[in-house]
Amino acid sequence: MRTSLTLAAVYAAAAATAFQGFNYGSTFTDGRPKTQSDFESEFKTAASLEGTNGAFTSARLYTMVQGGTTNDLISAIPAAISTKTTLLLGLWASAGDAAFANELEALKKTVAKYGSQLDGLVAGISVGSEDLYRHSPTGIANGEYSGAEPSTLVKYFDQVRDVIKGSPLSTAPLGHVDTWTAWVNGSNKAVIDACDWIGMDAYPYFENTKPNDISDSKQRWADALGATQGAVGGKPVWVTETGWPVSGKTVGAAVPSLENAKKFWDDVGCPMFGKTNVWWYTFQDSSPTTPNPSFGVIGSTLTTKPLYDLSCDKAGTGSSSSASASPTTTVATTASSQANGTASSAAATTTGGGSGSGSGSGSGINRPGTNATVGVPTTAPTAVVGSNAATTSFSIAIVAGMIALAMF
C-alpha cells in the first residue's frame, strides 16, 4: 500500500526558516583540489543565481579535509566565513578509522582556528554520508567502498562530540546522511538513535523498478520521504540530496533533460524551499568535464545564469537561508531554530510497512576521503530501490553510466 500524502501536507507544519543551498565537493571533476578562492567564487555565484532571490546561501560539505592534504582543514571554511555562507559540515566515514582520525584532526583545526568566526554559520555536522548504503547488499553489488557498520558510525558520533565539547560548535546538531532505504532498514536503528537530525538522499530518476517517468517523480519522492519519516521515530528529516539530471542516460522511464529538471525543481523543490532544510544536488558537476548523468543547475562555466528557470511561482525562496546565515545568530540559536526546518508532518506517515519506493544516494559511488590514504575517487548518484521496511530487504539495482564526478 502506497504512502498517502501530498507534498503540501508534508511541509504544512515546517518552520518558516530553513537552510537552503547546494552540495559542494572538495575537488573539480579532474581531481584538482578547490582553493579558498574557488569556494568563494562558487558560494557567491550560487547566492546570485537568477530567479532565486539570493536564497541559496548554504553549502553542504562531504569532508573536513582539504584536497591533496592529510588532515589540513578544508578551504571551504574560510570561504564560507568571508561570504557569510552557512555550512552543513561533513566528515567522511567510509575509509576506515585512520582516515576518520584525519577528519577529526581537520575538525579540531577548524575549531581552533575559526571556532568563534563560525558562530551562526553552522547548520549542523554530518557524521558520514551514505556509509550504511555502501555497507548494504545494494552498495556491495554496485561495487562501492566498504562503507561503515552502524556500531562504527555510533563510535564516530562519540568522537565528534568529544572534539566539539566546550567549543563554539558544541551546540551544533549532529546527524548522518544516507539513502532513504538505509533509514528504513531496522538494523541501522543505532545510528538513528545517535542522530539529532536525519539526512535523506532520494532520487526518483533512478527508481526503475517502479514508474519513474518525470510525471511520477513527485509521488516517488513523497513515498521516499514518508517512508523515512515513518522509520526515524520523529527525528527531524533534512533533505540533503535530491535532483533531476539535465543530461545523461535514460533510466527506466526517467529521461534527463532541462525540461524535466525544471519540472522536478517546481514539483519537489519549490514546495519545500524556505520551509525545509534543503541542500540540492547540485550546483555544478561539470567543471571541467561533464559526467553522465549530470545534475548541475549550471554548466561547465561559473555563471549566475542557470541552465533552466529556477524561479518558484508559489514558493518564497528568499527568506530562509539569509536569515539563518546572519553572523549575529549564535550556533545554539541556529541549531534550535533549524530543528523545525525539516520535511516533517503528522500527515507524512506510511502504510504497508513503508513500501513506498525511492532511490537513495547521489552523494556518491566510489568516493573515499581526500586524506592521502586512498586514490582520487569518482562518484555518482546511485540507485537504491525497492526497499520494504517490513523485511528490511534491499532489491539489487545497478544503474549503468555512473558519473565520473569528483565530489571528493
**What CA–CA distance (Å, rounded) separates 243 from 265?**
7
Is the separation of the CB atoms in 317 and 308 below 8 Å? no
Strand 393-395 with 385-388, pairing: antiparallel
Query: How many CB atoms lie under 10 A from the CB of residue 16?
Result: 13
**What CA–CA distance (Å, rounded) separates 367 from 381?**
11
Nearest to 229 by CA among 357, 388, 349: 349
> Cβ contacts of residue 92 below 8 Å, gap of 6+?
62, 63, 64, 65, 99, 100, 103, 128, 129, 368, 369, 370, 371, 408
Q: Name residue, grid cell 574557488.
A: 38
First CA to last CA distance, the chain: 39
**What CA–CA distance (Å, rounded) separates 238 from 149?**
22
In 130-227, DSSP assigns E strands to 174-179, 197-201
Strand 86-91 with 122-129, pairing: parallel
**Helix 97-114, helix 150-164: angle, nearest 10:** 20
Query: How many CB atoms lie under 10 A from the CB of residue 40?
Result: 20
**What CA–CA distance (Å, rounded) separates 94 from 130?**
8
DSSP string, 218-231: HHHHHHHHHHHHHH
Is the separation of the CB atoms in 44 and 83 below 8 Å? yes
Catalytic residue list contains 130: yes
Q: Is the peptide bond before 288 cis (omega within 30 degrees of 0)?
A: yes
Is the separation of the CB atoms in 227 and 356 below 8 Å? yes
In 225-351, DSSP assigns E strands to 237-241, 278-280
Among residues 40, 130, 144, 207, the one annotated as catalytic is: 130
**What CA–CA distance (Å, rounded) separates 217 from 268?**
8
Q: Which residues are designated catalytic?
A: 130, 241
